[in-house]
């Protein structure tokens, strides 16, 4: 099946090859249900899938790929305005499911039945590595979400690179409970298993109990998931038999990293990527796992740091610059957005990630954050929000922290920290400011501390820093 080699039968079959929220399918059963979807979807401009954590979602996605039709995953919690924009912008004419939302005007429902099978004359679409596999919509922090065109070749290159980095093969059981509309949960967490031949257990919801009961060898999670698991020692210890715990989509707080290491006997492996690039940098299974670091580039991927003046930034482990990427996992552009596509690349063809990072002499990458919200320019200094957050989380009374640059008439931007206390200490503003100043350069200390009950996050656990600034807490 080209991209999904497990469906070719080369790995044999098993009754529980794919389990989603308790529903188990063999690869043969999945192929049958997906083939029926593919037979009905053939020739459509795009197939939208309301990506709930179900086996039907997996069958619908696989069916679109087998039909050679671009798959458009829809967040199940998207509001009517966002959903209507994605459906209209993507050009989808089919929506997998038996009932259409009221705002899905003009679309045809495509039922998904796990017991269904295609007709005897059905065949998958001819392989074409340049064909669009997915139209994945970005978060839309500036304007309406844009549809990133992800070709089959990029998905294959990314999964093969991670299989190499993580020694991921058919002997593994992959466990996760991540959303199925995102690179992490869908492309890595479903298609990765169908490419490597590993067994897949999707827990439905990413609960500590669900992860502990799955008895996997390879686990995927975001920091929120790992933080909750680390807070339940029995659940964390149940993962001690796994060979690799992978964290991504947002930085893993160092205290969570260390607690997981203490409870499971191994340090988690972090990785880095984004919708437009898929995963480009990862900690290797056979390599060092450093707190706060996301590893080294995957095979075939090149990275570089560039300053605001356009000049190269040295890979010295200290200097901060915008991370730019070249390699086989990059997207083909934004659907219908020629200007945005052109602006996303440099004149010499590198993709501008918009993230700021530090690269060490040994090639290890550390992501500081987004250039738009995490590179703070204060009093003539350039300060990475991530290192201030890491320093704050080292304080025994801090459960979590987010740092932003707030407009300031004197400094340009002032470092402001939003802090969640762990309840064991009474936190004072001066105490925290001095704590950071004692660990970092004095100019990196927060000028203001705001104590909050929690931090606003998106579905993948990333802090919504623009919301913090807009709320003006």
In the chain, where are the structural domains located? 1-370, 379-471
- Cα separation, 262 vs 277, in Å, equals 33
CATH number of 1-370: 3.40.50.12780
Q: Tens of pLDDT along 379-392?
A: 766 677 877 888 89
Q: From 375, 466, 470, select the one nearest 415 (Cα to Cα).
A: 375
**Contact (Cβ atoms closer than 8 angstroms) between residue 297 and residue 303:** yes
Residue 342: count other Cβ atoms within 10 Å of its Cβ.
10
- Two tokens at 107? 């679309």
The phi-psi region of residue 105 (left if phi > 0; otherwise alpha if psi is between -120 and 50; otherwise beta) is beta
- pLDDT, mean of residues 210-228: 94
- Could you please report the per-residue DSSP string of 374-411? HEEEETTEEEEHHHHHHHHHTSTTEEEEEEEEEEETTT
- pLDDT, mean of residues 310-339: 94
- Give the model's pLDDT for residue 344: 94
- Cα separation, 262 vs 402, in Å, equals 25
Confidence at 103, pLDDT banded by 50, 70, 90: low
Confidence at 282, pLDDT banded by 50, 70, 90: very high
Beta strand ranges found along 142-295 (DSSP E): 147-151, 173-176, 199-202, 218-221, 244-247, 269-274, 278-282
Query: pTM here?
Result: 0.83
CATH number of 379-471: 3.30.300.30
- Cα separation, 269 vs 289, in Å, equals 6
Lowest average pLDDT, out of 56-70, 227-241, 318-332, 393-407, goes to 393-407
The residue with greater pLDDT, 325 or 422, is: 325
- CA dist 414 to 349, 388, 395, 421, Å? 35, 13, 21, 22
- Cα separation, 356 vs 272, in Å, equals 12
Q: CB within 8 A of 472, min separation 6: which ones?
A: none
Q: Which residue has the tokens 């340090």?
A: 267
Neighbouring-strand partners of residue 96: 49, 110
């Amino acid at each position: 099946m080209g991209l999904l080699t497990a469906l070719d039968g080369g790995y044999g079959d098993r009754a529980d090859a794919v389990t989603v929220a308790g529903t188990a399918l063999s690869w043969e059963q999945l192929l049958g249900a997906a083939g029926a979807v593919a037979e009905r979807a053939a020739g459509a401009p795009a197939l939208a899938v309301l990506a709930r954590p179900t086996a039907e979602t997996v069958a619908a996605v696989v069916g679109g790929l087998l039909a050679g039709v671009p798959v458009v995953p829809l967040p199940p919690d998207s509001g009517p305005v966002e959903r209507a924009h994605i459906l209209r912008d993507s050009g989808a004419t089919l929506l997998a499911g038996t009932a259409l939302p009221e705002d899905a005007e003009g679309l045809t429902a495509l039922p998904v039945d796990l017991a269904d099978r295609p007709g005897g004359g059905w065949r998958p679409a001819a392989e074409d590595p340049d064909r669009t596999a997915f139209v994945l919509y970005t978060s839309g922090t500036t304007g309406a979400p844009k549809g990133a065109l992800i070709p089959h070749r990029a998905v294959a290159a990314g999964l093969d690179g991670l299989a190499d980095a993580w020694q991921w093969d058919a002997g593994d059981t992959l466990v996760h409970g991540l959303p199925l509309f995102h690179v992490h949960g869908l492309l890595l967490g479903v298609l990765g298993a169908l490419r490597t031949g590993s067994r897949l257990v999707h827990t439905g919801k990413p609960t500590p109990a669900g992860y502990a009961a799955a008895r996997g060898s390879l686990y995927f999670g975001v920091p929120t998931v790992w933080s909750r698991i680390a807070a339940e020692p029995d659940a964390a210890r149940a993962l001690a038999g796994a060979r690799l715990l992978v964290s991504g989509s947002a930085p893993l707080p160092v205290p969570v990293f260390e607690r997981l290491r203490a409870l499971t006997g191994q340090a988690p492996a972090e990785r880095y990527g984004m919708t437009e690039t898929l995963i480009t940098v990862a900690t290797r299974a056979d390599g060092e796992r450093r707190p706060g670091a996301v590893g080294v580039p995957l095979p075939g991927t090149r990275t570089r740091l560039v300053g605001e003046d356009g000049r190269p930034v040295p890979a010295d482990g200290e200097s901060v610059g915008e991370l730019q990427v070249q390699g086989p996992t990059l997207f083909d552009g934004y659907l219908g957005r020629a200007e945005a596509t052109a602006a996303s690349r440099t004149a010499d063809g590198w993709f501008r990630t918009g993230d700021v990072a530090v690269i060490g002499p040994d090639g290890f990458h550390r992501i500081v954050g987004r250039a738009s919200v995490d590179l703070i320019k204060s009093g003539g200094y350039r300060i990475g929000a991530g290192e201030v957050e890491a320093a704050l989380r080292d304080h025994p009374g801090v459960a979590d922290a987010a740092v932003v640059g707030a407009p300031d008439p004197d400094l340009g931007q002032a470092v402001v920290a939003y802090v969640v206390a762990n309840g064991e200490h009474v936190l004072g503003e001066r105490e925290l400011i001095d704590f950071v100043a004692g660990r970092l350069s004095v100019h990196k200390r927060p000028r203001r501390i705001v104590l909050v009950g929690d931090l606003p996050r998106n579905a993948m656990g990333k802090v919504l820093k623009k919301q913090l600034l807009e709320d003006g807490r």
